[in-house]
Every structure is written in C-alpha cells, then in structure tokens.
Chains A and B, each alone.
Chain A
Amino acid sequence: MKPEYNVIGKSLPRTGSVDRLRGAPVFAADIQLENPLILKALRSAHDHAEVVAIDVSKALAIEGVVRIFTAADIPGKNLLGIINKDQPLLATDKVRSRSDAVALVAAETESAAHEALAAISVTYNPLPSVTDPFEALKTDAPKIHPKGNLLFSRKIRQGDAEAAFAGCASVIEKTYRTSMIEHNYLEPDAGAGFVDTDGTLVIYASTQNPHYDHKEVVTLLGLGDNQVRIIQAATGGGFGSKLDLNVQGFIGLALFHLKRPVRHVYTREEAYLATAKRHPLTLTVKTGADADGRLKAIKAHIVCDTGAYGSYGIAVASRSAVHVTGPYEIEHVDIESYCVYTNKPFCGAMRGFGAPQVAFAHESQIDLHARDLGMDPLDIRLKNCLRVGSKTGTGQVLTASVGIGECLEAVKPYYREALESGVSAPTHPFRRRGIGLGAMWYGIGNTGVQNPSTAGIEMDPEGHITLFTGCADIGQGSTTVLAQIAAETLGVQPAEIRMVVGDTKYTTNAGATSASRQTYISGNAVKDACQKLGDVLMTEAINRLHSPKDSLVFQDGHVVIKAGPENRPEDRIDFPCLAKRIHAKGVPLFWQGYFDPETIPLDPETGAGSPYATYAFACHLALLEVDTLTGQVTLEKLVAAHDVGQAIHPENVIGQICGGAAMGIGFALMEEFEPQKTVSMKDYHIPTCADVPTVIPIIVESAEPSGPYGAKGVGEPALIPTAPAIINAIARALGERIYHLPANLERVLAASISSGHFGPQEVTHG
C-alpha cells in the first residue's frame, strides 16, 4: 500500500513563478547595478600555442577601457576544476584550445570592450595540436598537460569475460561513436557583482553550484571564505554546463581589483565557444548471450574525449564504465574507460555524464542479440533486466527500488499494440515505419565518491519556518520539491515555508545540481533537518498535551493528538505556542540536516564497489517513419516510462521527461558540435516543436527506502533512453543499423542505401 501524503505527490505551483511572470529582474543579466563595468574575455586564436607576449597598450588607450587583466593579475591560485584542477582562468604559459581565455577587458561600455578585444595583441608560438583522442594517446602525440594526455582510466573486472564468450550462442562486437554536444540552455551564462560596504565581493551568477563557485573564487583570489559571497541568480537551465566556473571568476577578479560593480554576460556565440560540451565517446562493446538470450559477458573499451581540460571528464569516464552494462545482469565483466585530453574545447558535465552515450551502445547490442537469436526485443530485455537481489557489474547487490521490469511492463501495451497494427509493414513506396525500445539505468549522485548535502531549518519564536538550502534551482523545480519535503515532514503547506536558496552567506553546501541528485540527496538533508526540528516541537508538545509521542502528529501547523474522535481544542497546540516555549527554554530552533548516500568506492583495479546508493530506471518506446529516399526521420510517438521512486511533484517529473525526450531526439538525429563551424544556434540544430512528437510519460513508482518519501531522481534519466529507442526503431525500419550519432540525413540515407531501400524503382505510385 502506498502511504498517504499531504503534499508529496501534488503538483503545486512552482516557487518563483510569479516573479518570472511579472518579468522581475531575477536573471543575472537583468540585475540592476549602479554604473557597472562591462567585462569581456579574449579567447585563444589557436588550438595549441605558447603565449609569448600579451600587449595591451593599444587596447588600454581606447576611451572607456578601464583595465585589462591577464594571468599575472590573479592574486591566488589560477587553476580551476571541480574534480581535477587543470584549467587556468586566464592563460599563463600556453593555450590548449580556442575556448581558453587569454585576457579580460573591463570597460565602461559594451562597444569599448569589444574594441579593446580587437586591439589586444597576443604573440603566440603555435604548437602541434591533436584533436583525436586515439592520436592523443600515442607516445609521440603533442603533450597538452605536463602529466600527459591520459587524464584518467577506470577498470571494472568481474568473472572471466573471455572464457564466457566461448560458451555463448550469440557474440556481438561493435564500435559506437557519439558527437560533441552543446547544452543550449535558454539563458546564456551571465553574472554581475559589486563590492559590499563591508568589503565582501558579492557575485550574482547563473550557476548550478554556488558553493563550489564560492570555494573556487576564494582560492582564485586568495581571500577568506567571508570575503566572497555567491548568490545564485535565477538560472535559465544549465544541463551541466553551469557547473564549471564560467563568468564567476572573471567577475571576482574584476571586483577584487576595481571595487566597482561589473557585469559579464555571454552572447550565445560565446556560450558556444567558451563553455563545456558533452564528451564525444568512442566505445567498442562486445557482449555475449546464451541460446536463451541471457546476457553472460561484456567487454567494453571506452574512450572519452575531454578536450583541453578535465572539468567533469573523470566522472564521465567512471560513470560510462559502470553504466555500459545497461540495466541488465551480466556476470562476466571486463570494462576499461579512458579520459583523454585533446586540443578541442573542453568537455564537462552534460545531462547524463556519459550514460546517454553508453546507452546508445548497450541498447543497440541487446537488439542485435535479439535479432541474432530470433527473440523479441522486449522479451530479451525482460529476461535480462535487473531485479531486487541482482548483482551489478561492480558487484553491488540491489536490495530495493529496481523498477526496470515495471518500466518495461508499462510500455508493453503500447509496444504490442504497435506491433499488432503492423507498424513495420510497408504501406508506402518510400516510407518505412519502425518501432524501437531503449532502456536505461542511472545511478543517483556522484560515482563512488562522497557527495553529501546539507540544509538548515529555522523556526522563529512566532512559529514561522525558514528553510536554508544551497541547492541551485536551475528551472527544474528543486526549490518547490524541497519545500514540499519540508512541508510534509512538519505538517504545514509549502507556501508557508520561507525559502532561502543558493546564497553562500546564508546557506550551506548542498553540492551540485547535477547527477540527478538533489531530490534524493538534498531532499534527505532537508528531511533530516526538519525531523530534528520536529523532534524538538514534539518534545514540547508531549509536555503540553500530556500524550505520548506516538499518539501525536503534525497537522496544519499544529501538533495534534491523532485518532481523537472529537476535534477538541485541548488535543492540539499550534507552532507559535510551541516555538515561544521552546525559545524561552533556550533550546535551539535552528537545525542542520545532513545526508550522504551510502556508497562504497570503486576498487581501482577491479572496479568492485557500490558506486551509488540507488538507481533510477526507464524505458522509452519510439514509433517513427523513415523516408528511405531522403533519410528524413519523422517521429510519430514516444512512450516514456520512468521509475522515479516517488514523484514528489508529478508535473515536474513530466516536464523533465518531455524535455529529456526532446533533448534525446536532438542527440539521436541532428546535434553535432563542430568547433569553429557550429558557432551559434543558426548552424547547430536542436529539435523544434515540429520535430518532437507526442510524448506519453508514464511515472513508475518503485519506492526507494532510503529516499525522501521514497523519491530518487529523474533529471538525467529523462534523456538517456530516447536516442537508443530512436536508433533501434530506425534499424527496425530499414533492417540496417547506425553506429555513429547523430543519425543525420546522410547517415540514415546511407543505411537505407545499404539495406537496398534506396532506388528510384521504389516510387511506384504517387
């Protein structure tokens, strides 16, 4: 039986909606400061070069140019990176990609800043560059960083894969390639700042991780924690790219030296040029299945091209390795994943951290086995999918909330109906219909490393509640969800809770808004804080109501004796009354919550461990039509079933699913970032609403015992199964498979040609 909740599972209006609808200046680019200076960064003119000299004299002579900063102006440590520190804010001895900033201009006007950029003279000594990660791994490759071009590797070994292949009825080995992807958040990176009267550098930023920004800026400037304050401005999407320091460091540097308000707003072109991309992966996967279609062994070799800097590359390499088995039980595992530097723009976090790339491979593999063995693609997935008690590739035994089977069952009726309606039967001379499945699993939180969250809850003596969280709401709705969790725990309405969010002066670290972790991890931290406050309130209520604790509940801002037949006033006591008494006794009404998911780090040699405390699961079904003469793919329908544990806010979950599906369509069919070619949204294609079909979201709730009210996460899972489902549907339509994303017009047409579908003879009637 599902428990009854007051506000959990209800789609309440989102916090902050009113300000946005009124057009209040909530975004960083709109923040009003007095006479701010404009900041602009000069980017590298080379993929790889020594910086011999930077001459700013001409630029400084331009009217309105106030100052031009170079690396020499950085008072602290000029090296950034959330996992490994390898990225200077401003180039020192050399540039490693065209994204690298070489100098920073501060000017009175936008036009003076632009003029100054053109007038800075940088003398470079070009170095040989390498843009292919396989080339970069060769011993004679240009060395991008002092330690070499291999940043990280992850191995996972369990059983004996080679031996197991020998006993398999179906062994498939294929190489898959995915493209570099730009995030395309609605709001290009932006920030603004001023120096407060007490000397604090105050920085507003469009960010996914204000507390990380804070630490990074403090270190960069060599200041104390209290001398920098980061305030998360309303953030118009991030998808992982706003986890890196984009404008924050530049603003901090300018404030440090100039003590004047500044703003730094990227154009779309700059957001394309200067911020992280999704890692392109090349992976060779070999899997074996027995005659019954049971997967026995996997061998995978994964190369992640991280470009010039690490950013989240190590996390991507690690997560790719763990997830390449797919949501399936495979006994024998032999996986290697490498993160490699090249002279391309740096790659970092993007919705899924490598999981979308490897899902393309594992879902193609399982369809290939189904075909090889004459099995139905849904049946083979049901046969292999993880269950409670299953052991993963890292040897973790799953104990609860393994909803992949339920997700597969949830799409089954749609799948069967599509099959029965003859979806693959040709009805047109040059159109073929296809149906495809894509399944996925996704570990919530960071991979085998501690990633705690904290939260604070305060009740004032009048009984008002304030929740403090460092969790950045970037449009996905975490503030609403955390308010719901707090409200449920304390028996009030979310609107009654004052939310203080993402302000390092008042909030404590909630970690990154990434890895689909905030509902689960920060949700638990909030719940922990609320329970502590709740305990204090209960203790006082026991005294007042003369009733044992297990007879009391929180209800509408009161503690109430439950199960009383008549609603007597003496059976309840309100929060103001309790708060006043607790306060008078000197007992604290502010409580801090903490949660870190229970994980076991991966063994460096075998990869054994429990990298995540819980996993989300999903299955998408794609119905589409392929034009065999042009390669155009028209999606008819997507069915998307997601196990989220418990939907705290179902509309938010549906929003994530539909948005993820749209992003997945782009990943599948059209998106490919090519440095210096795709410079803006004009040249880089993301799906429009005309490209997105009806999406039927299905919420599956296999409650996670360690989650807040059973919740897990959905932000990234939403995207992951879409591309595999589409690629499998194209393969089914054409009888020919695509191994290189995106499946653009030319690749689909090539598949059509090699499958014999292309040819003028096909056009037999109009």
Chain B
Amino acid sequence: MLLPKFDFHAPETVNEACQMLSEYGLKAKLIAGGTDLMVNMKKKILAPEQIISISQIRELDHLDVSGDRILIGAGVTVADLCESKTIAGYLPALGQGANNLGTPLIRNLATIGGNIGSARPAADLPPGLMAYGAEVVLQSKAGIRTLPLDNFFLGPGFTALQPDEILTEIRILVPPAGSGAAYVNIGIRKAQDCNLVNVASYFALDSNGIIQNARVVMGCVGPKPFRAVSAEKILIGQKPDIQLFEKAGEAASADSQPIDDFRSCATYKRSMVGVLTQRTLQQAWTRIKNQE
C-alpha cells in the first residue's frame, strides 16, 4: 500500500498557499488532516503530483466570536470543535456532529475545512453547519469570496471550490435567542462508521412563540447534504409541537432521495429521515425551552 509519488509543500500563510495553488492548479491537492486524501491516495484513486499542507498556517486555526458572528478557521480540528465551549454554547448541533465523527484518532487529525471540502454526502459536520446557515470563505490569489454552504456542495466529492481556491473560514451568525438546533445520525455501529442517515434541524421562534425561520438538512439521502424544503415550509409560521414535528418529519421523508445499497435499503433510510427530523426538532425545541 505505497503512496504514489508527490512533492510536499508546507506554506505558512494563506497567501503563500494561494500562490502555490495558482501555480500548480489541478496538479495540486491541499492536505490538512489527510484523513480523506490519504485514504484515496493509498487506494490510488487520487495521485496528485503536488501536495500542499495547510497545517502550518496559523491563521486557519482560530475559533472566535466576533461581533454577531462565529468564525471558525478551516484548520480547526474536529477534536477542537468537540472541546470548544463556544461550539457547545452557541452551536450544539455542530458539536454533536463533531462528537459523532470517526474516532478520537480521526478527530485529532480531521479538520472542519476538510470535512466540508471532501464533500461526502454522509459527512457529520455539513448538516449542522447548513442548519445554522453557515457561509464559507474561499480565498485565491485573485481575492476572497463568500458562499452560503448550501450552494457550496455540488455532488459527491464535488464543490464550488475552484482549483486555485482555499476554503479558509466558516462564518456563522450567532444564533438568536429563541432558537435551537440539533443533529442526530444513524450508522450500522456506534462509532467509526459511514452514516446511513443524518439530519440536523434548526428553528427560531419570534416573540409570540411562532417559528419564523427553520432549516432542516438531510445527509446520506442524496448526492449531497440538502435542505428538506417542504419540511421547513410546514414548520414556518406554526407553533412548535409534537404533531407539527411529525408532519415535518413526513415531509422531510418525502423530500429525501435515498438509494438502496448493500448496507441499507432506501425504504429504511427514508423512514429514518422522518424519525431523525422529528428527533432533531424535538431536541432543538428542548434546547430553546432550556434557555428560558
């Protein structure tokens, strides 16, 4: 299981990395924790000539609250997310995703940027991030642009990231008072597993206790994590209760597009989208009630 041959670079600034990317283009791959790239290289699925490590770039390691936004550097590890009080306090659904990702060994290496950038439909972090309405910051030699995470994923392994761009930061508005979110995943076993279904839900109440904003995000049941639009429509404008969550679950189930594979049949996954939608909404509501 030897790796294909490659040149290795370890720039210390984003600018330096962008310079290298612009030079090498499609011949280069970024590496952070390497938990995805190394597997694909060992399997000979990928054989980049140039590997640019972003692990030495300190400016990608931040995790701060700045004004009304939470800023997470793309190099923040999943273990850091698990331990962060900021995440636990403001973004518990992301924390749930982080805590359910891989194993302690993987969590110590894998980064939030990598988990997004690899664009696996079953990844643990994107549903929570999308539920919170996260934006990603993409930087190249030409400049910086931001993109809602909703628009970032294009398909399994495919994203809006250009060959010369680096995903540098994730930005999330501090969730307002009266909002809550949760993430739940199901796999064949309790850890170190590719999810069969994962769902994150978020909703925010207005001062009358009416849901004014809702996002339900499903993973594993389509080519990329995506929003259950009909479930969100059902939620918005209503008061949260069990029956409403049930209806939202049914709608999410109908929105999902699971496929049969040897690990699980589509019927099961579709049914679980409903169950997990209900459960995440229920947990989100509990979190809102606990704020009061």
In whole Å, how far is B203's beta carbon from the nearest beta carbon of chain A?
14
Within 8 A of B (CB), among A290-307: none
Known: A683-B262, A685-B193, A746-B268. A766 touches B283 (CB 8 A): yes
Contact B286 A685 (CB under 8 A): no
Contact B190 A688 (CB under 8 A): yes
A632 at the interface (CB under 8 A from B): yes
When distances are taken between beta carbons in the complex, the residues of chain B under 8 Å from A690 are 189-192
In whole Å, how far is A662's beta carbon from the nearest beta carbon of chain B?
12
Within 8 A of B (CB), among A611-643: 629-632, 634
Contact B242 A764 (CB under 8 A): yes
Contact B189 A670 (CB under 8 A): yes
When distances are taken between beta carbons in the complex, the residues of chain A under 8 Å from B246 are 760, 763
When distances are taken between beta carbons in the complex, the residues of chain B under 8 Å from A691 are 189-191
B201 at the interface (CB under 8 A from A): no
Within 8 A of B (CB), among A82-136: 110-111
Contact A685 B188 (CB under 8 A): yes
B71 at the interface (CB under 8 A from A): no
When distances are taken between beta carbons in the complex, the residues of chain B under 8 Å from A689 are 191
A81 at the interface (CB under 8 A from B): no
A424 at the interface (CB under 8 A from B): no
Chain B interface category by residue count: 20 to 34
In whole Å, how far is A526's beta carbon from the nearest beta carbon of chain B?
40
Q: How far is the CA of A764 from the CA of B242 in the complex (A)?
A: 7
Contact A766 B268 (CB under 8 A): no
Contact B275 A632 (CB under 8 A): no
Known: A760-B249, A760-B278, A766-B286. A677 touches B262 (CB 8 A): yes
When distances are taken between beta carbons in the complex, the residues of chain B under 8 Å from A760 are 246, 249, 274, 278
A-B interface pairs (CB < 8 A), number: 63
Within 8 A of A (CB), among B130-178: none
Known: A629-B275, A630-B272, A763-B282. A746 touches B189 (CB 8 A): no
When distances are taken between beta carbons in the complex, the residues of chain A under 8 Å from B285 are 766
Within 8 A of B (CB), among A679-707: 682-683, 685-691
B265 at the interface (CB under 8 A from A): yes
Partner of A688, one of B191, B272, B278, B282: B191
B110 at the interface (CB under 8 A from A): no
In whole Å, how far is B240's beta carbon from the nearest beta carbon of chain A?
11
Q: How far is the CA of A683 from the CA of B189 in the complex (A)?
A: 12
When distances are taken between beta carbons in the complex, the residues of chain A under 8 Å from B245 are 763
With a 10 A CB-CB cut-off, give which of A674, A677, A760, A764 has the most chain B CB atoms. A760
A373 at the interface (CB under 8 A from B): no
Nearest CB to that of A765 among chain B residues? B242
When distances are taken between beta carbons in the complex, the residues of chain A under 8 Å from B1 are 267
Within 8 A of B (CB), among A634-682: 634, 670, 674, 677-678, 682
Chain A interface category by residue count: 20 to 34
Within 8 A of A (CB), among B229-278: 242, 245-246, 249, 262-265, 268, 271-272, 274-276, 278
Contact A688 B189 (CB under 8 A): yes
In whole Å, how far is A202's beta carbon from the nearest beta carbon of chain B?
27
B45 at the interface (CB under 8 A from A): no
A573 at the interface (CB under 8 A from B): no
B103 at the interface (CB under 8 A from A): yes
When distances are taken between beta carbons in the complex, the residues of chain B under 8 Å from A629 are 275
B109 at the interface (CB under 8 A from A): no
A744 at the interface (CB under 8 A from B): yes
Within 8 A of B (CB), among A735-766: 744-746, 749, 760, 763-764, 766
Q: Mark B1-15, 1 if CB is under 8 A from A, else 0.
A: 110000000000000
Known: A632-B186, A688-B103, A688-B192. A746 touches B242 (CB 8 A): no
Q: How far is the CA of A631 from the CA of B189 in the complex (A)?
A: 12
Q: Mark A132-146, 1 if CB is under 8 A from B, else 0.
A: 000000000000000
When distances are taken between beta carbons in the complex, the residues of chain A under 8 Å from B188 are 670, 685, 744-745
When distances are taken between beta carbons in the complex, the residues of chain B under 8 Å from A686 are 189
Contact A763 B189 (CB under 8 A): no
Contact B189 A678 (CB under 8 A): no
Contact A745 B190 (CB under 8 A): no
* Interface SS of chain A: loop
Q: How far is the CA of A110 from the CA of B275 in the complex (A)?
A: 49
B196 at the interface (CB under 8 A from A): yes
Nearest CB to that of A677 among chain B residues? B262
Within 8 A of A (CB), among B12-46: none
Q: How far is the CA of A690 from the CA of B188 in the complex (A)?
A: 12
In whole Å, how far is B82's beta carbon from the nearest beta carbon of chain A?
15
When distances are taken between beta carbons in the complex, the residues of chain B under 8 Å from A687 are 189
Q: How far is the CA of A690 from the CA of B245 in the complex (A)?
A: 30
Within 8 A of B (CB), among A700-745: 744-745
Q: Mark B101-122, 1 if CB is under 8 A from A, else 0.
A: 0010000000000000000000
Q: How far is the CA of A629 from the CA of B242 in the complex (A)?
A: 15
Q: How far is the CA of A632 from the CA of B190 in the complex (A)?
A: 9
Q: How far is the CA of A632 from the CA of B196 in the complex (A)?
A: 12
Nearest CB to that of A631 among chain B residues? B268
Contact A678 B282 (CB under 8 A): no
Q: How far is the CA of A677 from the CA of B261 in the complex (A)?
A: 9
When distances are taken between beta carbons in the complex, the residues of chain B under 8 Å from A685 are 188-189, 193
Contact A746 B265 (CB under 8 A): yes
In whole Å, how far is B243's beta carbon from the nearest beta carbon of chain A?
9
When distances are taken between beta carbons in the complex, the residues of chain A under 8 Å from B286 are 766
When distances are taken between beta carbons in the complex, the residues of chain B under 8 Å from A746 are 264-265, 268
Q: How far is the CA of A764 from the CA of B189 in the complex (A)?
A: 27
Known: A267-B1, A670-B189, A683-B262. A766 touches B275 (CB 8 A): no
Q: How far is the CA of A545 from the CA of B239 in the complex (A)?
A: 97
Q: How far is the CA of A677 from the CA of B186 in the complex (A)?
A: 21
Q: How far is the CA of A596 from the CA of B278 in the complex (A)?
A: 63
When distances are taken between beta carbons in the complex, the residues of chain B under 8 Å from A678 are 262
In whole Å, how far is B251's beta carbon from the nearest beta carbon of chain A?
13
Nearest CB to that of B188 among chain A residues? A685
When distances are taken between beta carbons in the complex, the residues of chain A under 8 Å from B193 are 685
Partner of A766, one of B271, B276, B282: B282
Partner of A630, one of B242, B265, B275, B283: B275
Nearest CB to that of A750 among chain B residues? B268
Q: Which 3 A-B pairs have the closest CB atoms?
A: A690-B191, A690-B190, A677-B262
What are 13 A-B pairs with beta-carbon distances under 8 A?
A110-B2, A111-B2, A634-B190, A670-B189, A683-B262, A688-B103, A688-B190, A689-B191, A691-B189, A745-B264, A745-B268, A764-B242, A766-B283
Write the residues of chain A forming the contact surface with B, with a CB cutoff of 8 angstroms.
110-111, 267, 629-632, 634, 670, 674, 677-678, 682-683, 685-691, 744-746, 749, 760, 763-764, 766
Write the residues of chain B forming the contact surface with A, with a CB cutoff of 8 angstroms.
1-2, 103, 186, 188-194, 196, 242, 245-246, 249, 262-265, 268, 271-272, 274-276, 278-279, 282-283, 285-286
Taking A630-B276, A685-B189, A746-B268 as given, write out 14 further A-B residue pairs in contact, using a Cβ cutoff of 8 Å, ordered by the A residue number.
A629-B275, A674-B262, A682-B194, A683-B263, A686-B189, A687-B189, A688-B192, A690-B189, A744-B188, A746-B265, A763-B245, A763-B246, A763-B278, A763-B282
